[in-house]
Amino acid sequence: MKPAAFDYVRPDSVDEALEVLAASGDEARVLAGGQSLTAMLNMRLANPSVLIDIARIQDLKNISLVDGMIEVGAAVTQAALLAWPDLVKHQPLLAQILPNVGHYQTRQRGTVCGSLAHAEPSAELPLALATLQGEVVVQGKRGRRVLSAADFQTGMMTTDVAADEMITACRFPVADAQSRSLFHEVSQRHGDFALVALAAVSTAQGVRLGVGGVAEIPRIVDLPLLQGEAVEATLNDLAWELDGVDDPHASARYRRELVRRIGKKIINEVSHATS
């Protein structure tokens, strides 16, 4: 379980990092916290010949409010965002979700953007980004692009970031003071990959529900305010539509049941809190 050889580059700025990226083609990978990437390297599931370590770039360590969004730099750890004093006020859903991302030990090195870049189907942060309709800022020598959550994650462990680009920040909208949100996940052990993770946010029209862990990417649905059996029927359709598969951790049937039960619970709680 040792990685193959690679050149290690530690740029001092984003510009330097982009130079190296442009020069290395698709041979390079960007390393921030390394809580997913280094494990992949150890298992030789990834074999880049160049690693570009951005963890010490000062410009990427900021959390700031920009145009109604919380902007999180690419070197900000999950623990740092969780410890941000304004998090509960500005984005309570993220404050609920972050303690479920990995473990105490991995959150202290793992970054928020790194988890998005890894795009693991059961990961909580991609679910948070998609449910909250956040954005990802990517940069390359050719320029800068701001991707919506929907455009960013294109499939299981794949994103729209090109080989010569890197994520420099992600953005989560500041929560509307009236809105309510809830998160619930089921995993075998606290901190393990979620078998099913659900997030719900109240919207002007009803409830937006995000489901992670079942399909290849987080699935987001906007639902009108529903009552009683209508909730159950909608969730049942959704549970089947997600097309989950049996894997060693849980059967597809169990996952469908979790979507129905937890979905109902959090939709009801979020809608009651609003009305």
Partner 1 sequence: MQRLDAGLRHRVRFLLNGRAVEGDAEPRMLASDFLRQVLGATGTHVGCEHGVCGACTIRIDGKAQRTCLTFAVQLDDCRLETIEGLTDDKGDLNDLQTAFRRLHALQCGFCTPGILMSLDQLLEEEPEADEVRIRDVLSGHICRCTGYQGMVDATLEVMAARRNAAGGEE
Binding residues for partner 1, rule: CB under 8 A, are 1-12, 16, 20, 34-35, 38-39, 41-43, 49, 51, 53, 55, 79, 99, 102-106, 108-109, 189-191
Q: Are the C-beta atoms of residues 162 and 152 closer than 8 Å to each other?
A: no
Q: Smallest distance from the beta carbon of 149 to partner 1, in angstroms?
A: 26
Number of Cβ within 10 Å of residue 201's Cβ equals 25
Task: CB nearer to partner 1: give 27 or 160.
Answer: 27
Please name the residues in contact with 267: beta carbons below 8 A apart, sequence gap of 6 or more: 200, 207, 209, 223, 226, 231, 235
Q: Smallest distance from the beta carbon of 273 to partner 1, in angstroms?
A: 24
Q: Smallest distance from the beta carbon of 120 to partner 1, in angstroms?
A: 13
Please report the DSSP string for 162-220 in residue order. -TTEEEEEEEEEPPPTT--EEEEEEESSTTSPEEEEEEEEE-SSEEEEEEESSSSS-EE
Task: CB nearer to partner 1: give 105 or 205.
Answer: 105
Task: CB nearer to partner 1: give 52 or 217.
Answer: 52
Task: CB nearer to partner 1: give 38 or 274.
Answer: 38
Residue 28 has, within 13 A of its CA and on its CB side, a CA count of 24
Q: To 5 degrees, how large is the angle CA 108–CA 113–CA 118?
A: 100
Q: Which helix (H) or strand (E) holds 34?
A: none
Q: Smallest distance from the beta carbon of 16 to partner 1, in angstroms?
A: 5
Task: CB nearer to partner 1: give 184 or 219.
Answer: 184
Task: CB nearer to partner 1: give 106 or 153.
Answer: 106
Q: Give CA–CA dist 244/230, Å, rounded.
A: 22
Q: Smallest distance from the beta carbon of 73 to partner 1, in angstroms?
A: 18
Residue 5 has, within 13 A of its CA and on its CB side, a CA count of 0
Please name the residues in contact with 269: beta carbons below 8 A apart, sequence gap of 6 or more: 180, 182, 200
Q: Smallest distance from the beta carbon of 1 to partner 1, in angstroms?
A: 4
